[in-house]
Structure 1
Amino acid sequence: MSENRYRDAGEALADKIRLVEDFPTNGVLFEDLTPVLADADAFQIVVDELAAACQRQGADLIGGLDARGFLLGSAVAYKLGLGILAIRKKGKLPPPVHSQEYALEYGTAALEIPADGTELAGKQVVLVDDVLATGGTLVAARNLIEKCGGEVAGNVVVLEVDGLGGRERLAGSPLVVINEPAAQE
């Protein structure tokens, strides 16, 4: 393998994120990670930093949130020699499942994991996702893991959308945002 052209994930993200104005609604600046994932150097350094953060939090298992958290979490789990728990949106898994509902701005949603075949009791799970916005999905995932006997050792994300209260909703649970100068844990 050749040397990575990026010093750190922040540099790779600044170079590769595609900014889309007024998506999904007017006034929102969407940060599209697709070009980051498609660039080998950018993807590698982002995964390396996510993996280092997960390792510091004592992960036994990585929980990847549907859907971009699957991509990132799988790469992190592979790098660390751990398993990946795919935390799915409702209706994507065959029964039986464990389910956790959570509130959206206009309604509710739910996350699910298989009820059979995956033992979570006593496991330290680190949740991996692309973006922390309101925190609702990560809180629901934490509740789901705890309901199944596991413990969420931390949350690791690539980006954070300021002003939506996600960090506050995760208070008391370690959080690493790799695209901030001084990642907080």
Structure 2
Amino acid sequence: MDFIKSLVENKLLLIGNFVLTSGKISPYYLDLRRLSNYYEIFSDTVNKAIDKIKNIDFDMIIGIATGGMPFASFISCRMGKPLGYIRMEKKGYGTDKILEADVSGKKILLVDDVATTGGSLSKAVEVINSEGGRVVASLVIVDREEGAEKKLDEYGVKLISVYKIREILEYLLNSSLISDNDKNNIKEYLVKNIE
């Protein structure tokens, strides 16, 4: 699969030991903040995402800073939808806002690069809801399948992903792109952590 090969070749999928935002230790890390540096594969990903959300009724896109912003921006431009963004914490100066958008009375598509446990996404849903908006769906490039879908379901928000981590890792496990030791570490992680 071109997407997976591109991730590995461009070091957007790294193998080793990584601490995630959730605090978990993972044998792989998706560094999708640089995916937009590779226009062809990024553009293809955006096209696939738009195809997945074309039947969702929403008024505005809110990207989660910083990983979700390039993805949200491309989708906004291609679909002709307004765009805002949300930080995970206040910046401590200026207007000191977390949410940079007027979401009152609007149906929101929340966008990020990767979903793991759903902590960042659910926090964003809470902020948007408190400002009078309603998140109708959340879109990510990759769902790591470690609880985000279930967490968002508690808020009545559907998680949509362009790719699932299982398909990416299964491709790697059946390739010669990584060592046998790395394959064993990934298999063990999959058994313990993937829903």
Q: TM-score, normalised by structure 1?
A: 0.74
User: What's the CA shift string for 1:23-73, capped at 9, x where partnerless?
Assistant: 424642112335642222111111112223333221211110011101110
What code does the residue aligned with 1:120 have? V
Correspondence list, 1:1-185, <5 A? 11-18=1-8, 19-25=13-19, 27-33=26-32, 36-92=35-91, 94-95=94-95, 97=97, 112-114=98-100, 118-162=101-145, 164-171=146-153, 172-180=156-164
Q: State the number of aligned residues.
A: 154
CA–CA separation in structure 2 for the residues paired with 1:61 and 1:76: 11
Whether the 8 Å contact between 2:63 and 2:110 is mirrored in structure 1 is yes
Read off the aligned partner of 1:70 and give its amino acid letter: M
31-40 or 15-24, which moves further after superposition? 31-40
Question: Shift of residue 151 of structure 1?
Answer: 0.7
Structure 1, residues 69-120: CA drift from partner, whole Å, max 9, x if none? Answer: 01110111011111111111323362253xxxxxxxxxxxxxx114xxx431
> Structure 2 vs 1, CA of residues 38 and 119 (structure 1 numbering), >3 Å: closer, same or farther?
closer
Residue number in structure 1 paired with 2:185:
none
State the SS of the aligned residue for 2:163.
Answer: coil
Q: 1:35 to 1:68 in 2, by over 3 A?
A: closer
Q: Within 2, Cα distance between the matches of 1:81 and 1:14?
A: 29
The structure with the larger Rg is 2
Q: Following the alignment from structure 1 to structure 2, what is the Cα–Cα distance between the partners of residues 136 and 27? A: 17
CA RMSD of aligned residues (A): 2.3
d(CA) in 2 for partners of 1:119, 1:91: 17
